[in-house]
C-alpha cells in the first residue's frame, strides 16, 4: 500500500478494510454479504447499535445526546442545521475560517439572520480567531464554527468559552483529540476522513434541540424524524455504517481518543518542525492556528511544487497536492495515517530541498 496523504476520502486502518473485504462476500458465515442484508435484520441492527455504542464510548457522549447516521454528506448539514434550529427570523453567529464555513454561511442565510462575527478571508484563512477578535450578539441562537479547516490547514486549538450554544463541523478532526461533547449543541462530521467511507454523516445532537424545527421542514430533513426511528426512518447507508464500526473497533484497540491525540500530535510535530527549521518550506497557517490533521505548505515556486508532488508520487507518497484554492502542497495525516509515512515524507522533504535549490 502507498502512503495516502489525500484529504478525504483518506487513509483508513488496514485491519478494518481487511475485515470489510471478507464481510462483503460472507458476513459471519451467514451466506450473504454485508451489503445484501436487510437493514432491519437482527444482524444489521446489532451492527448499527454497536457502532453507536462505540462512538458514545470513545467520545464520552452524554445520555442527553442522540447519535444519528444520515446521508447527504456534511454539506447537507450546512442547511439542516439552520433549517432545524433557526425558527422564524432568529439570528445565528458564524465564524468564517475557510471554504467550508463560507458554504455553511451561504446556506444558513436562507433560514435566518446570519452574523459573520469573524472572517479570515482577507488573510487567505491562515488564522483561527482568538475569542477577543469577535463579538457575539445577545440575541444569537448559536455560534457555528468549523473545528478543523481541511483546505487551509488550520484548527481550533481550544473552543470558544461562550455562553452561546456551539455548533461544530468536525468533519476533518472528529475523534482526533478529546473534546467535551457537553459544550456543543450539535456536532456533525462526514465520515470520509477519520471515521470511514463517504456516504454516512454522523450527527451528535442534544436531545432538547429535536423539537425546535418549524412545521415547514420536510420529514426527511428533520433531525427528530431520524432520532425517533434510530436512523432507520428510511434505508440507512448500511455499508458505510458497518465500516465506521470497524474503524471504531480499531480506534478503541489503539487506546482510544487520547492515544490518537498523542500520535497525531507527534506526526504533526515532525512536519511542522521541519517546516520551521527550513527556509525552503513555508507553512500556510499561523503557528498558533496550525492543524494536526492537514499540514498545508508551499515550496519556493509553483514549478518546484509540481516537481515535488510528482517525485513523491513516484516514491509511493500520493495525494500531496494542495487544494486548488490555496495551491502548494498539503499532507493530510488523519488518525489512520501511520507515523512511518510521516517520517518517510520528512526525509523526502529534506532530500528534495537539498537536490532542488530555489
**Which residues have a catalytic role annotated?**
100, 169, 193
110, with CB counted inside 10 A (0-12, 13-18, 19+), is exposed
- Residue 80 CB, nearest approach to ligand PLP (Å): 12
- Residue 45 CB, nearest approach to ligand PLP (Å): 25
Q: Residue 9 interacts with ligand PLP (CB under 6 A)?
A: no
Q: Residue 240 interacts with ligand PLP (CB under 6 A)?
A: no
Q: What share of the chain is helix, strand, coil (3-state, %, to 5)?
A: 40, 20, 40
Q: According to the annotation, is 234 in a ligand binding site?
A: yes
Q: According to the annotation, is 192 in a ligand binding site?
A: yes
Please identify, among the stretches 15-23, 58-66, 165-173, 232-240, the one whose residues bind ligand PLP according to the rule CB under 6 A: 165-173
Q: Which residue is nearest to ligand PLP (CB)?
A: 73
Binding-residue total with ligand PLP (CB under 6 A): 11
Kindly tell me which residue out of 8, 112, 160, 197 binds ligand PLP, with binding defined by CB under 6 A.
Answer: 8
Q: Residue 6 interacts with ligand PLP (CB under 6 A)?
A: no
Nearer to ligand PLP, 50 or 99 (CB): 99
Q: Residue 141 interacts with ligand PLP (CB under 6 A)?
A: no
- Residue 169 CB, nearest approach to ligand PLP (Å): 5
Q: Residue 190 interacts with ligand PLP (CB under 6 A)?
A: yes
- Residue 244 CB, nearest approach to ligand PLP (Å): 14
293, 170 Cβ separation under 8 angstroms: no
- Residue 329 CB, nearest approach to ligand PLP (Å): 17
Q: According to the annotation, is 51 in a ligand binding site?
A: no
Pull the grid cell for residue 78: 450546512
Tell me which residues in 273-312 interact with ligand PLP (CB under 6 A): none
Beta strands 201-206 and 65-70 are antiparallel
Mapping DSSP to helix (H, G, I), strand (E, B) and coil, where does residue 215 land? coil
Q: Is 319 left (phi over 0), alpha (psi -120 to 50) or beta?
A: left
Q: Residue 146 interacts with ligand PLP (CB under 6 A)?
A: yes
67, 57 Cβ separation under 8 angstroms: no
Q: Residue 172 interacts with ligand PLP (CB under 6 A)?
A: yes
> What is the rounded end-to-end Cα distance, in angstroms, of the chain?
32
The count of other CB atoms within 10 Å of the CB of residue 322 is 22
Q: Give start and end residues of each alpha helix (H) in the chain.
A: 14-25, 42-59, 73-85, 99-108, 223-228, 238-253, 256-276, 302-314, 339-355
Return the residue matching grid coordinates 487551509.
Answer: 152
272, 283 Cβ separation under 8 angstroms: yes
128, 155 Cβ separation under 8 angstroms: yes
- Residue 172 CB, nearest approach to ligand PLP (Å): 4
Handedness of CA 177, 58, 147, 6 (dihedral sign): positive
Pull the grid cell for residue 358: 530555489
Q: According to the annotation, is 63 in a ligand binding site?
A: no
Tell me which residues in 55-94 interact with ligand PLP (CB under 6 A): 73-75
236, 48 Cβ separation under 8 angstroms: yes
Q: Residue 10 interacts with ligand PLP (CB under 6 A)?
A: no
Nearer to ligand PLP, 102 or 113 (CB): 102
- Any residues with CB less than 8 A from the CB of 131 and at least 6 apart, and which? 160, 161, 162
Q: Residue 97 interacts with ligand PLP (CB under 6 A)?
A: no
Q: Residue 100 interacts with ligand PLP (CB under 6 A)?
A: yes
Q: Residue 171 interacts with ligand PLP (CB under 6 A)?
A: yes
- Residue 8 CB, nearest approach to ligand PLP (Å): 5
Taking the mean position of all CA atoms in its chain, how far away is CA 55? 15
Q: Residue 120 interacts with ligand PLP (CB under 6 A)?
A: no
Closest CA to 260 of 343, 342, 337, 176: 176
Contact residues toward ligand PLP (CB under 6 A) are 8, 73-75, 100, 146, 150, 169, 171-172, 190
Binding site feature residues: 40, 74-75, 100, 150, 169, 192, 234-235
Binding site feature residues for pyridoxal 5'-phosphate: 74-75, 100, 150, 169, 192, 234-235
Amino acid at each position: 500500500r502507498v502512503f495516502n496523504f489525500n484529504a478525504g476520502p483518506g487513509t483508513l486502518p488496514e485491519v478494518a478494510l481487511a475485515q470489510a473485504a471478507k464481510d462483503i462476500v460472507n458476513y459471519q458465515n451467514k451466506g450473504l454479504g454485508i451489503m445484501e442484508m436487510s437493514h432491519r435484520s437482527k444482524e444489521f441492527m446489532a451492527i448499527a447499535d454497536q457502532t453507536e455504542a462505540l462512538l458514545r464510548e470513545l467520545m464520552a457522549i452524554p445520555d442527553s445526546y442522540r447519535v444519528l447516521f444520515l446521508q447527504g454528506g456534511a454539506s447537507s448539514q450546512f442547511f439542516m442545521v439552520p433549517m432545524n434550529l433557526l425558527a422564524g427570523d432568529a439570528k445565528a453567529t458564524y465564524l468564517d475560517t475557510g471554504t467550508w464555513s463560507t458554504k455553511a454561511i451561504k446556506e444558513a442565510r436562507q433560514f435566518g439572520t446570519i452574523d459573520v462575527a469573524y472572517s479570515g478571508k482577507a488573510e487567505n484563512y491562515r488564522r483561527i480567531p482568538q475569542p477577543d477578535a469577535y463579538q457575539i450578539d445577545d440575541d444569537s441562537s448559536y455560534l457555528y464554527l468549523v473545528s478543523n479547516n481541511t483546505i487551509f490547514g488550520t484548527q481550533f486549538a481550544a473552543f470558544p468559552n461562550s455562553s452561546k450554544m456551539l455548533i461544530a463541523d468536525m468533519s476533518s478532526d472528529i475523534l482526533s483529540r478529546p473534546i467535551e461533547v457537553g459544550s456543543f449543541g450539535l456536532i456533525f462530521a462526514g465520515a470520509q476522513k477519520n471515521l470511514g467511507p463517504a456516504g454516512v454523516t454522523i450527527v451528535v445532537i442534544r436531545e432538547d434541540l429535536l423539537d425546535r424545527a418549524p412545521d415547514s421542514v420536510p420529514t426527511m430533513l428533520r433531525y427528530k424524524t431520524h432520532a425517533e426511528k434510530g436512523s432507520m426512518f428510511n434505508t440507512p447507508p448500511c455499508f458505510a455504517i458497518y465500516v465506521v464500526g470497524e474503524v471504531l473497533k480499531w480506534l478503541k484497540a489503539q487506546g482510544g481518543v487520547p492515544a490518537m491525540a498523542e500520535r497525531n500530535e507527534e506526526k504533526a510535530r515532525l512536519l511542522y518542525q521541519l517546516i520551521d527549521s527550513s527556509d525552503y518550506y513555508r507553512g500556510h497557517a499561523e503557528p498558533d492556528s496550525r492543524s494536526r490533521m492537514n499540514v498545508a505548505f508551499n515550496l519556493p515556486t509553483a514549478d518546484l511544487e509540481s516537481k515535488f508532488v510528482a517525485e513523491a508520487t513516484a516514491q509511493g507518497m500520493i495525494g500531496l497536492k494542495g487544494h486548488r484554492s490555496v495551491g502548494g502542497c498539503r499532507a493530510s495525516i488523519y488518525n489512520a495515517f501511520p507515523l512511518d509515512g510521516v517520517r518517510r515524507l520528512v526525509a523526502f522533504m529534506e532530500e528534495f530541498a537539498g537536490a532542488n535549490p530555489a
